[in-house]
Each structure stands twice: as structure tokens, then as C-alpha cells.
Amino acid sequence: MTKVMDSGFKGIFLVATNPVDVLAYATWKYSGLPSSQVIGSGTVLDSARFRYLLAHKFKVDSRNVHALILGEHGDSSLPVWSHVTIAGKPLFDFDEGNRPNAEELEETFIKVRDAAYEIIKRKGATYYGIGMGLARITKAIAKDENAVLPVSALLQGEYGQKDVYTGVPAVINSGGIRELVNLKLTEEETARFDKSAAILKGYINKIF
């Protein structure tokens, strides 16, 4: 990082190496750049897998599913069920005759959370999925899209957390992170998010 910054670098760092939230934080600290110019791949891949599984369950195109995984890119991540919409309708209103129960919802999330382990077991690595995620973030930067993507970003009071990088929706353009989208979470979602942030802070505190 020191060598890169000594070269006069003033661009944007896109961090993918795991643990991505911790290393994005370290990149921000060591580079001295504004946090808007240091982006972790965060939960962009987790959220894509989440949308895919929900689309499969409800038999709709995944482009018509809006759903997010927040928090750590890892075991403490959380699904934001309260903001899932399918074809513009809230999850529980889309197909009332086939409404998923709590057990089915948790099973869907576990498949998302543990997908990487299954992929690694079968083919040794997950490079295709993360490659697509990084390409999506890069496109948003290169084309100044102002796209909302769930990336790892520095929280400075959002979601009640400070001084931690974690997966949240953010507006991405040619300058990097334009702003964070502060969703209103349920009490249960907030508790899970806080727990995830506490785990990440524990890792960060071991370094700094």
C-alpha cells in the first residue's frame, strides 16, 4: 500500500481479498484516501445469489427480485427480509397462497451463506462469481452509473455503527462511493447487523 501511494495514486481501490471487510478497512487506513475511494466487494455476490434463489422459488426472472444481504461477507451476514420485493410487491404479498414460513426463509438464507463452501468443495474456488461481482462494481465506476450496490463501505454513524467496513447498499459512480443508503431495519435485523459489526470490529481491533 505504501508503494502504491508513493507513486502518486489518487484513484479508487476495489478490494476483493478475504476477509474483505477487514482488508478494505486496512486499505483505507494505510492508504490515507477518503473512504469514498476504498470499496470492498462486500455482499454484492451474496445478494446476487440471494436474488437468484428467491427468483427460482417464486418462478420469476431474478431481475424482478430486489433483495439484499448485509453485514460481513461471511458467516455473520444477514438477509434483509423486510425490504425484499418481487415485481414491486413485498415478499409476503407476492404469492399469498405460497407464502414461505420462517423455516423456509432461513433455509434459503443458509444456502446463500454457505454457497461458497459448497462451490469450493466441488471445484476448488469461487472465482467466476466474484469476478462477475467485481465487473459489476467496476462498470458502475467506469460508466458513472450512480448504481446502488451492496458493497463493503465505511460506516460513520449509519445503521448505528462507526469505524467499521461492512456490507451495505451504496451509490457507486466515477468518484467511488457517492453515499450510503441507510435502510430502516426491523428490530431483529438490527440486532443481527449489530452482532455482525461487532465481530468485524473484533478483527479490526486485533490489527489496529
73 as an active site residue: the answer is yes
Q: How many domains does the chain have?
A: 1
CA 54 to chain centre: 17
**How far apart are alpha carbons 28 and 13 in whole angstroms?**
9
150-189 pLDDT, tens digit each: 999 999 999 999 999 999 999 999 999 999 999 999 999 9
53-87 pLDDT, tens digit each: 888 888 899 999 999 999 999 899 999 999 999 98
Whether the link from the prior residue into 19 is cis, omega within 30° of 0, is yes
DSSP 96: G
**How far apart are alpha carbons 162 and 181 in whole angstroms?**
15
Mean pLDDT (the chain) is: 91
Range of the domain at 35: 2-207
Residue 126 pLDDT grade (very low, low, confident, very high; cuts 50, 70, 90): low
Per the model's pLDDT, the better-predicted residue between 101 and 25 turns out to be: 25
pLDDT (average), residues 5-19: 96
Degrees, nearest 5: CA angle 77-80-83: 160
* All residues at 6 or more sequence positions from 58 whose CB lies less than 8 Å from its CB, including other chains: 65, 86, 94, 95, 98
Q: Residue 3 is which amino acid?
A: K
CATH code (residue 68): 3.90.110.10
pLDDT (average), residues 127-153: 94
In the block, residue with C-alpha cell 404479498: 93
**How far apart are alpha carbons 207 and 181 in whole angstroms?**
28
